[in-house]
Structure 1
Amino acid sequence: MNRTLAIIGVVVILLGIVAVNSMFIVSQTQQALVLRLGEPRRQIQDPGLQLKIPFIEDAVFYERRALDVDPPKQQVILSDQKRLDVDSYARYRIVDPLLFFQAVRTEREARARLSAIINSSLRRVLGSQTLFDILSEKRVGIMANIRSEVNGPAQRLGIEIIEVRLRRADYPDETRENIYNRMKSEREREAKEFRAQGFEQAQKIRADADKQRVVIVAEAQKQAETLRGQGDGEAIKIYADAFGKDPSFFSFYRSMQAYRTAITDSDTTTMVLSPDSDFFRYFNSMTGQPGSETPPAGQ
């Protein structure tokens, strides 16, 4: 009895193992390829529970979702002889599992093959474009051309290229340094030119201002001399009219001016004169006449 139970148990276990190895599940995000002794027999696109011959057939699963490939950065020479370090990426989908298995077998190998194809296409397409084209609205059409060119070899791998994009397109480090130095030199040259122009303008403005100052000062001096001359003339006329009416007052006034000019605190000149000198006549008499101490009537 025990032996029978043991046999039944072994049979059940073997049947379970066979059942497990004869069924597999394909998820919504996968597609499968059934291999018989390593050779592909059929491909399964529909999700769900699937059957296979146990121990003879095996299932290989591939993604139905979009996959990414990130080619290594490379340097590209454009048609205008400018060098760019191009960093790109692409998205692809496995559309033919059988062809994919026969061509590359694994996604890792597929990424390596696609990287080489994409970089080759980038060099070929971008090599016929200028930097202005890549930076302008033409970039969309350029990337579409690259995608179309890559799709040809990719279809032979059972792959459909969804898109190819440029992540970055920069000048190489040495080129950036040269551009920076050239831009710096250009800006310094422009700065020197602007300074020279500014200095020239400043000199012109300063010279014009000095000229205007000289003209204004000369005009002012001319007007001052004219007014001074007119004032002196008026003063002389007034003095002449006044002195003509009273000559003795004129003589007295002139003597007072001489006293004020000759006798001052700051005067260091020593004069030796006789008290009877005509210079001091108004010191002894207000009339300027010897022996008279009171002015005549009317003065």
Structure 2
Amino acid sequence: MSRALAALVVVLGLGAVTLSQTLFTVDVTGQVLVVQLGRPVRPIDQPGLYTKIPFIQNVLSFDRRALTIELPGEEVILGDQRRLIVDSFTVFRITNSLQYYQSVGGTEMGIKARLSSVVSSSLRRVLGNNTLLAVLSADRTRIMATIRTQVNDEMKSFGISVDDVRIRRADLPGGNTQAILARMQSERERIARQARAEGAEAAQRIRADAEQARTILVAEANATAERLRGEGEGEATRIYNRAFGADQNFFTAWRTMQAYREALGNGSTRIILSPEADFLKFLRTPPTTETR
């Protein structure tokens, strides 16, 4: 009886071991690659319960969540020949476990070494085509998008996708900081001087245009006034002539009365004339008018 019990325990133990070597699960956060004697057999990226050949096939598990690598500070030369020390980090995911295993042996150290090299090369290449001002301005987003695209295209064959590449810190080399800041300040002052000069030139041009327009308007107004004055004087002369032709005595008397008013109107003017003077003839004899 004891032998039968022992045999049963052995059989159950072997069955349990065999079952544990046959069944395996894939978690929602992971993916696996079934390997037989070192050769990849099938990748599995859907969660669930699966089987394999016990003792012959093994299961390699890989994380399907976002992974991060950080690159230490490295010096790059920008497009304006300035030097910049850049710290960056990269976010990536394993998307194809078979390609990942075949390219770097499925080791995280291997993929990080390869990815670091690609990111470093892309950083140097893209930043080398941009100035310091572009790196420090809103163009930085465009620059990093270009780097991410280049790195992602190159790493597709390794079974990973690159979600993001970011510059965590960008510093100037210690000896160049003050000199570069001085150059940047000088450039800003030059731009400000140019803007002020352009503004002064525009103001002078506007004032000159306004003065020219004013001169033209005044000249046109004076010409119009002279024309109207001439027309008025001509019309007055025609009226006088018609009046003189209609009744010469009345016209002469009216003009003489006008002269009296202008000469004697203020009451303080003294005029010494001969009683026989023509200027006083209407004071001596009332004027007569023609009857028609």
Instruction: Give the TM-score category using the shorter length.
Output: 0.5 to 0.7
Alpha carbons 1:25, 1:49 under 8 Å: kept = yes
Q: Which residue in the other structure is 1:146 paired with? A: 147
Partner of 2:164: 163
**SS across alignment from 2:61:** strand
**AA in 1 matched with 2:120:** N
Structure 1 residues 80-124: Cα deviation after superposition (integer angstroms, max 9, x where no partner) = 110000111110011100000011111121111101100000000
Structure 1 range deviating more: 30-39 or 167-176: 167-176
Shift of 1:5: 1.6
- Residue in structure 2 matched with residue 257 of structure 1 by the alignment: none
Task: Tell me the number of residue pairs that the alignment of Structure 1 and Structure 2 aligns.
Answer: 183
Inter-partner Cα distance in structure 2 for 1:156 and 1:177: 44
Report the equivalent of 2:176. Answer: 175
Q: 1:172 deviation in Å?
A: 1.2
| Within-5 A mapping of 1:48-87 | 48-87=48-87
Q: Which runs of 5+ in 1 are unaligned?
A: 187-299
Q: Note the alpha carbon deviations across 1:253-281, whole angstroms, 9 max, x for none.
A: xxxxxxxxxxxxxxxxxxxxxxxxxxxxx
Counterpart of 1:71, as a letter, is: L
3-state SS, counterpart of residue 80 of structure 2: coil
Q: Distance in 2 between matches of 1:37 and 1:142?
A: 45
- What corresponds to 2:111 in structure 1? 110
1:93 matched to 2:104: no
Which consecutive unaligned segments of at least 5 residues does structure 2 have?
A: 187-292
Taking the aligned partners of 1:146 and 1:134, their CA distance within structure 2 comes to: 13
The runs of at least 4 aligned residues of structure 1 exceeding 2 Å deviation read 176-180
Q: What is the alpha-carbon distance in structure 1 between the residues aligned to residue 115 and residue 51 of structure 2?
A: 33
Map residues 220-259 of structure 1 onto 2, 5 A cutoff.
none
Q: Deviations over 1:4-36 (max 9, x none)?
A: 221111111000000011111211100010001
**Bigger Rg, structure 1 or 2:** 1
Distance 1:35 1:51 in 2: 12
Q: Spell out the pairing of 1:164-203 with structure 2 (5 A cutoff).
A: 164-176=165-177, 178-179=179-180
CA 1:177–1:135 in 2, change beyond 3 Å: closer, same or farther? closer
8 Å contact kept, 1:76–1:84: yes
- Alignment RMSD, CA only? 1.6
- Rounded to whole Å, the distance in 2 between the matches of 1:107 and 1:6 is 45
The more displaced of 23-32 and 169-178 is 169-178
For residues 93 and 32 of structure 1, what CA distance do their matches in structure 2 show? 14
Normalised by the size of structure 1, how large is the TM-score? 0.59
* Amino-acid identity (%): 45
1:36 and 1:50 map into 2 onto residues whose CA distance is 15
